[in-house]
Structure 1
Amino acid sequence: MSYEVFVMRFEGGDSAALDTGAARTVLAPYAEYAKDEGEYHYCGLRTRDGGEADVHVRPDCVTFHRFSTGDVLDVLAKLVRRLNAVLVCPDAPAVLRSEEVRPQLPAGLRDDAVVIPVLTGAAIDALLKRA
Structure 2
Amino acid sequence: MSFDVFVQRFRDGNAAPLSPGVFHEVFGPHVDRREPEHRLLHVRTADGGEADVYADADDPGSSSLMVNHFSGEMVSDLIVEYARRADAVILPAGCPTLLTSAEQRQHLPEALSADVRVVSDGPGFLAAIRG
Report the TM range for the smaller structure's normalisation: 0.7 to 0.9
Letter in 2 for 1:8: Q
Identify the residue that residue 123 of structure 2 maps to in structure 1: 122
Q: Is the contact between residue 69 and residue 125 of structure 1 (CA under 8 Å) also seen in structure 2? A: no
Q: What is the aligned partner in structure 1 of residue 40 from structure 2?
A: 42
Structure 1 residues without counterparts, runs of 5 or longer = none
- Shift in Å, 1:103: 2.0
Aligned pair partner of 2:99 in 77, 96, 101: 96
* Identity percentage of aligned residues: 34
What is the correspondence of 1:1-131 to structure 2 with a 5 Å cutoff? 1-36=1-36, 41-58=39-56, 59-116=62-119, 119-130=120-131
| Aligned equivalents of 1:101, 1:84: Cα separation in 2 | 8
The one-letter amino acid paired with 1:126 is: A
Deviation at 1:70, TM superposition (A): 1.9
TM-score, scaled to structure 1: 0.87
Contact 1:23 1:57 in 2 (8 A): no
Q: How many angstroms does 1:25 deviate by?
A: 2.0
Superposed structure 1 runs of 4+ greater than 4 Å apart = none
Question: Alpha carbon RMSD of aligned pairs, Å?
Answer: 1.6
Q: Is the 8 A contact 1:31 1:43 kept in 2?
A: yes
d(CA) in 2 for partners of 1:46 and 1:10?
Answer: 28
- CA deviation map 1:75-129 (0-9, x unaligned): 111111211211111111111122222121111111111223xx10100111111
* 1:46-89 Cα shifts (integer Å, max 9, x gaps): 11111110001231102101111321101111111211211111
